[in-house]
Amino acid sequence: MALLKDLFIGLSQNQLLNTAAKKYGLKLGAQHVVAGTNVAETIESIKELNARGISCTVDNLGEFVFEKEEAIEAKGQILEVIEAIHIHKVDAHISLKPSQLGLDIDYDFCLDNLKEIVSKASAYDILINFDMEDHNRLQASFDLLETLSEEYSNIGTVIQAYFFRAVEDIQKYKNYRLRIVKGAYKESEEVAYQNKKEIDENYIKLIEWHLLNGKFTSIATHDHVVINHVKKFVKANNISNDKFEFQMLYGFRTDMQLQLASEGYNFCTYVPFGSDWYGYFMRRLAERPQNLNLVVKQMFNKKTNKVIGLSAGAFLLGRVSRRK
């Protein structure tokens, strides 16, 4: 399992494969893991999910942003999504990565871009969730969060359970809306747990603590064992359903998503869009390699029992193996 995680993380950082995936995305079956290649398609996907009682958090996909022009373009796309959410009155908010807005270029440049986004979203009462990335960007991302929170209240963030500092961070940011995840990057043993059992135990610990002490908890997992544990925990501790939600990724375990929503739980689907989907998808496989099987299953037509698309992850893995 550890070897698979390392493999997927390595693939996520391969710019050559990322470029190929952009070019051939739909032919590889990318439509099964992204909600659209543009804003209009994505809004239609959100409407379909909303009709089934599911809210959405929208991620404008993008990797390897090292030029200001790219960051400004990404900002424009996110502003366009915010405007579309407002115009169409859909139940959705924004997830973004500071690196896409220029964190790797210049801190103040990134701060200015984020402020423009958060300000526009605030005017429409739309949440902006700061996704957390690898450890090298972690503290700077929290610094951006704190600076913008001095003026705006429509900000949430993510706590990654594999970091040793996660317990301290979740206590520090308990008054924010928090998405709790296990973590999807390869991190040093100096800063993060390496053992799956330890990560899982810390993940449950963080979820329970924030459910009891925090503002609002987004529990991001496809693991039915964790989900069943949370169901029992909230019942045993009389925690209202309006204090938390379950989250899953677009295209993964769709039946379970609909089931949880039908049971009356708040449910939010993480909705990525755009052509730059490759790095995102590989990190999802790194988080939980079983996700590859979930996507493949989603891509079978039950009536004809024939594959209706080719898993992007499987295809690209095949290309890598053939090159070795």
Q: What is the pLDDT of residue 186?
A: 85
Q: What share of the chain is helix, strand, coil (3-state, %, to 5)?
A: 55, 15, 30
Angle between helices 135-149 and 107-123 (to 10 degrees): 50
Q: Which residues are CB-neighbours of 41 under 8 A, at least 6 positions away?
A: 35, 273
- Looking at 14-28, 30-44, 238-252, 271-285, which range is the least confident one? 14-28
Q: What is the pLDDT of residue 276?
A: 74
Q: What is the pLDDT of residue 34?
A: 81
Q: How many percent of the chain have pLDDT more than 90?
A: 69
Beta carbons of 164 and 128 less than 8 angstroms apart: no
Q: What is the pLDDT of residue 292?
A: 58
Pairing of strands 267-273, 244-249: parallel
Q: What is the pLDDT of residue 171?
A: 98
Beta carbons of 258 and 52 less than 8 angstroms apart: yes
pTM for this prediction: 0.82
Output the six-digit token pair for 308. 């209706």
Residue with more model confidence, 285 or 301: 285
Among residues 179, 253, 283, 284, the one annotated as catalytic is 179
Output the six-digit token pair for 7. 């493999």
pLDDT class for 161, splitting at 50, 70, 90?
A: very high
Q: What is the pLDDT of residue 323?
A: 41
Beta carbons of 180 and 218 less than 8 angstroms apart: yes
Beta carbons of 295 and 252 less than 8 angstroms apart: yes
Per the annotation, the verdict on 242 as an active-site residue is no
Q: What is the pLDDT of residue 270?
A: 95
pLDDT digits (tens, 9 = 90+) for 303-312: 333 333 333 3
Per the annotation, the verdict on 104 as an active-site residue is no
pLDDT digits (tens, 9 = 90+) for 14-32: 666 555 555 555 555 556 7
pLDDT for residue 207 is more than 80: yes
pLDDT digits (tens, 9 = 90+) for 97-154: 999 999 999 999 999 999 999 999 999 999 999 999 999 999 999 999 999 999 999 9
Q: Which residues are CB-neighbours of 89 under 8 A, at least 6 positions away?
A: none
Among residues 104, 131, 169, 276, the one annotated as catalytic is 131
Question: Is the alpha carbon torsion for 36, 293, 184, 48 positive or negative?
Answer: positive
pLDDT digits (tens, 9 = 90+) for 68-83: 999 999 999 999 999 9
* Mean pLDDT for the chain overall: 85
pLDDT for residue 268 is more than 50: yes
Residue with more model confidence, 236 or 5: 236
Given this structure, which CATH class describes domain 34-276?
alpha beta
Q: What is the pLDDT of residue 25?
A: 53
